[in-house]
């Protein structure tokens, strides 16, 4: 274990709409210095919509860097979202045209060991297919499938980002344990 930290000096070294990088200089009680770089992100939300039949609803969209891929609805908490749940409710409406009556917070985490900014993962149940035509992102397709279908898409490299994979894994465990 490290000895107690004496002083920390922080400065933001890079900032854009998506990313902000902070450099922390940590000075230990013995005078030893370390520099840590931290990726700061706004808070985010991830949602796994779960149907009454036990299927999941994923997005299918073209991503500039990854190609045509599937994933879970996700997004950043915006200024008008009073809390993460409000952000999650907005995101599943915008991305897959759904609302939900039952929300379960499954995981609160950071995206990586050098990162800050909480991400909140919810399972959404009691799904309602509302008339959200005007809100829905037209570049995103909504696809319903079984967990097994999703595992196959992972094997085929069509679900490529860890946040989406992680939500599907955690959602699967959540459903399995509940039905025991």
Minimal distance, residue 50 CB to a copy of itself, in Å: 16
The pair of structure tokens assigned to 21 is 């990088």
- Nearest 10 degrees: CA dihedral of 130, 134, 139, 140? -20
Candidates 33-41, 47-55, 90-98, 127-135 — which segment interacts with a copy of itself by CB under 8 A? 33-41
> How many residues sit in the footprint of a copy of itself (CB under 8 A)?
52
Does 6 bind a copy of itself (CB under 8 A)? Our answer is no
Produce one character per residue of 47-79: b if its CB has 16 or more CB atoms within 10 Å, e if not. bbbbeeeebbbbbebeeeeeeebbbbbbbebee
How far is the C-alpha of 11 from the C-alpha of 94, rounded, in Å? Answer: 35
In this complex, which beta carbon is closest to a copy of itself, that of residue 46 or of residue 127? 46
Collapsing DSSP to helix, strand or coil, 168 comes out as helix
Contact, 155 vs 111, CB < 8 A?
Answer: no
Q: Which of 13, 32, 33, 83 binds a copy of itself (CB under 8 A)?
A: 13
How far is the C-alpha of 3 from the C-alpha of 106, rounded, in Å? Answer: 34
- Under rule CB under 8 A, which residues in 42-81 are in contact with a copy of itself? 62-66, 68, 71, 74
In this complex, which beta carbon is closest to a copy of itself, that of residue 19 or of residue 128? 19
- Positions touching a copy of itself (CB under 8 A) are 1-2, 5, 13-14, 16-19, 21, 24, 26, 34, 36-39, 62-66, 68, 71, 74, 107-116, 119, 139, 141, 154, 157, 160-166, 169-170, 172-173, 176
């Amino acid at each position: 274990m490290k000895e107690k930290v004496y002083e920390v000096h922080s400065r933001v070294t890079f900032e854009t709409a998506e990313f902000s990088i902070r450099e922390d200089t940590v000075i230990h009680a013995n005078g030893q210095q370390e520099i840590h770089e931290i990726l700061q992100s706004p808070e985010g939300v991830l949602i796994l919509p779960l149907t009454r039949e036990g299927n999941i609803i994923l997005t299918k969209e073209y991503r500039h860097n990854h190609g045509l891929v599937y994933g879970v609805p996700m997004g950043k908490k915006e200024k008008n979202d009073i809390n993460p749940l409000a952000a999650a409710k907005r995101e599943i409406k915008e991305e897959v045209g759904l609302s939900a009556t039952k929300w379960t917070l499954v995981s609160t985490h950071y995206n990586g060991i050098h990162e800050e900014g909480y991400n909140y993962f919810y399972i959404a149940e009691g799904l309602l297919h509302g008339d959200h035509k005007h809100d829905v992102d037209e570049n995103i397709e909504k696809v319903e499938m079984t967990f097994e279908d999703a595992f196959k898409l992972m094997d085929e490299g069509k679900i490529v980002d860890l946040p989406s994979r992680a939500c599907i894994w955690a959602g699967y465990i959540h459903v399995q344990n509940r039905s025991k």
